[in-house]
Amino acid sequence: MKSALLLSLSAFALAAPTKEAASGSKIAFSRARHQHKPRADGTVDLDRFLGTLKYTALKYNKDFPLPDVLQEASLVLKRDTDAEDPLTDQVEGDEDELYYGPGYIGAAKQLFTFDFDTGSSDTFVPGPQCGAAQGCPHTQKYNQQGTDEHNTTSITYGSGSVSGENYFDTLTVAGLTAQKQNIVSLTQAAGFNDSNADGLLGLAFQSIAASKSTPYFFNLVNQGTVNPTEFSFYLGRQKSGTAQNSELTLGGRDEAKYTGAFTNVPVTSQNYWQVAIGGAKVGSGLNLPTLPTTAGQAAIDTGTTLIIAPTIAAASIFAQIPGSIPLPLGVGVPLMTLFAYPCASKPNVSLVFAGKNFAVNNLDFNFGTLNEGLGLGLANNTIAGQLANGYCLAGIAGADLDPTQNLWVVGDTFLKNWYSTYHYTSPTSAYVAFAKAV
């Protein structure tokens, strides 16, 4: 029997795999603020952007040496049984930042809003001991009526951290219930900025779970609750008027949210949803060469706003964009590099997966206009002068988060263009599939 679960964020929802999933429940969410919104004048809110960047870097490498400009930044977090549940797009102005939706914990069916994250594997919500002073400003607190495991989980992100007590309880998303799901009942969430989601629901593999417990989706698989054994994301775009259509589908794909055939990309390492990336291309035309030094591995991450490429790959991309300016964060050899480019230009950037090109829309590549303040903050008067002349911040940054495998982190800058399905059959059969989002 198929049941549809659709999570709708004022821009994000769980989507049905086929039209028959329309019988499933749909939960709509109101719009909320996003994390890197531009200011009223259209310029980048750099503090919030840097907070997002810091969180992503430390999410993938807890020991990543942060440049000084990121040290003090507040951390920002950015279903056949067919299950659909609408997700909300945390959005303000014309920008999209965080997609979140509802879930229910325990016999009391406590409602929490979650950031659904393919780049992590734990589930945590505020516990009764975690108030505003401990980093949990939301009023909804877990009642701890599940089974106390009498141990704790802690995750450190540089100067920030989350920690809490482990409980087993039921977790229901869009009508699909995982039994004996590990829930981290937070006692603190230090160093994080505000988010409209109550907690995080990780959808990656158990190998990276700080709690060492089975993630929600894999509990559904093991308990025979979801079929087919996959989930899918459609991330809408505020600028295109599709934010309210965002979806997460458990147990299939929503045919109304994509067009054309899927390209399956095998998972190469079962930690993140990690696949091989063939590289990047810049320009238009049918026979563009793949840029040198851009191939590697890519973590497909719905919980990350932008794209982070290895340093040398990012440099190769922006060398093909006339007028672009590297913005190194750090002294000497930069630990991380942002990039600015002339706002009047519209670069054609594509990523290559399984030998096929996947374009990034300029609406997503452009993170907003910059001003000379960034250059002055970097103690670089030359850059400050250049940025005063119509430059925008690019949605691709450079950082060597894992130099051993040239790791990319491919977030919403890419995923708003491509409907993505995450399929798992067995430890030797898993893939991510992309089709053109409508």
Q: State how far the Cα of 262 lies from the Cα of 163, in Å rounded to an integer.
A: 39
* % of the chain surpassing 90 pLDDT: 58
Q: What is the pLDDT of residue 89?
A: 47
Higher pLDDT among residues 419 and 161, named by residue: 419
88-107 pLDDT, tens per residue?
Answer: 544 444 444 456 789 999 99
Higher pLDDT among residues 43 and 209, named by residue: 209
Q: State how far the Cα of 92 lies from the Cα of 69, in Å rounded to an integer.
A: 25
Q: What is the pLDDT of residue 92?
A: 43
pTM: 0.88
414-424 pLDDT, tens per residue?
Answer: 999 999 999 99
255-295 pLDDT, tens per residue?
Answer: 999 999 999 999 999 999 999 999 999 998 888 999 999 99
Q: What is the pLDDT of residue 12?
A: 40
Rounded to an integer, what is the distance from CA 308 to the centroid of its chain? 12
Which one is catalytic: 80, 96, 301, 364? Answer: 301
What's the whole-number average pLDDT of the chain?
83
Q: Three-state DSSP class for 348?
A: coil
Higher pLDDT among residues 384 and 228, named by residue: 228
Examine the residue annotation and report whether 364 is marked as an active-site residue of this protein.
no
At the top level of CATH, the class of 257-418 is: mainly beta
Q: Three-state DSSP class for 216?
A: helix
Q: What is the pLDDT of residue 81?
A: 36
β strands within 14-146, DSSP E = 25-27, 85-86, 88-92, 95-105, 110-117, 123-126
Q: State how far the Cα of 134 lies from the Cα of 24, in Å rounded to an integer.
A: 38
Q: What is the pLDDT of residue 47?
A: 77
Residue 6 has pLDDT above 50, yes or no: no
284-321 pLDDT, tens per residue?
Answer: 888 899 999 999 999 999 989 899 999 999 999 999 99
Q: Are 79 and 249 in contact (CB under 8 A)?
A: yes
Residue 376 has pLDDT above 70, yes or no: no
Residue 437 has pLDDT above 90, yes or no: yes
Q: What is the pLDDT of residue 105?
A: 99
Structure tokens belonging to residue 315: 């440099």
Residue 397 has pLDDT above 90, yes or no: yes
Q: State how far the Cα of 423 lies from the Cα of 203, in Å rounded to an integer.
A: 11
C-alpha separations of 230 from 5, 267, 430 in Å: 13, 13, 9
Q: What is the mean pLDDT of residues 27-40?
A: 41
| Other CB atoms within 10 Å distance of the CB of residue 147 | 12
344-358 pLDDT, tens per residue?
Answer: 999 999 999 999 999
Structure tokens belonging to residue 100: 């979140």
45-74 pLDDT, tens per residue?
Answer: 777 788 888 889 989 998 888 888 787 777
Q: Are 188 and 103 in contact (CB under 8 A)?
A: no
Q: What is the mean pLDDT of residues 199-213?
A: 96
Q: Which of 100, 108, 104 is nearest to 77 (CA)?
A: 100
Q: What is the mean pLDDT of residues 149-174?
A: 90
**Ramachandran area for residue 61 (φ above 0: left; ψ -120 to 50: alpha; else beta):** beta
Q: Are 278 and 352 in contact (CB under 8 A)?
A: yes
Confidence of residue 36 (pLDDT cuts 50, 70, 90): very low
Q: What is the pLDDT of residue 300?
A: 98
Looking from the CA of 181 toward its CB, the CA atoms found within 13 Å total 34
Q: What is the mean pLDDT of residues 138-165?
A: 91
Residue 250 has pLDDT above 50, yes or no: yes
| Other CB atoms within 10 Å distance of the CB of residue 20 | 14
Residue ranges of the alpha helices (H) in 261-369? Answer: 311-318, 362-365
Q: Are 353 and 277 in contact (CB under 8 A)?
A: yes
In the chain, ranges of CATH 2.40.70.10 domains: 5-48+76-253, 257-418
215-226 pLDDT, tens per residue?
Answer: 999 999 999 999
Examine the residue annotation and report whether 117 is marked as an active-site residue of this protein.
yes
Q: Which residue is associated with the tokens 């229910």? A: 104
Q: Strands 199-202, 110-117: parallel, antiparallel or unpaired by DSSP?
A: parallel
* % of the chain surpassing 70 pLDDT: 79
Confidence of residue 174 (pLDDT cuts 50, 70, 90): confident
Residue 399 has pLDDT above 50, yes or no: yes
Q: Strands 273-277, 147-157: parallel, antiparallel or unpaired by DSSP?
A: unpaired
Q: What is the pLDDT of residue 435?
A: 99
Structure tokens belonging to residue 171: 């977790």
Q: What is the pLDDT of residue 28?
A: 33
Determine the topology of domain 5-48+76-253 in CATH.
Answer: Cathepsin D, subunit A; domain 1 (2.40.70)
Q: What is the mean pLDDT of residues 107-114?
A: 95
Q: Strands 25-27, 5-7: parallel, antiparallel or unpaired by DSSP?
A: parallel
Which one is catalytic: 117, 122, 254, 400? Answer: 117
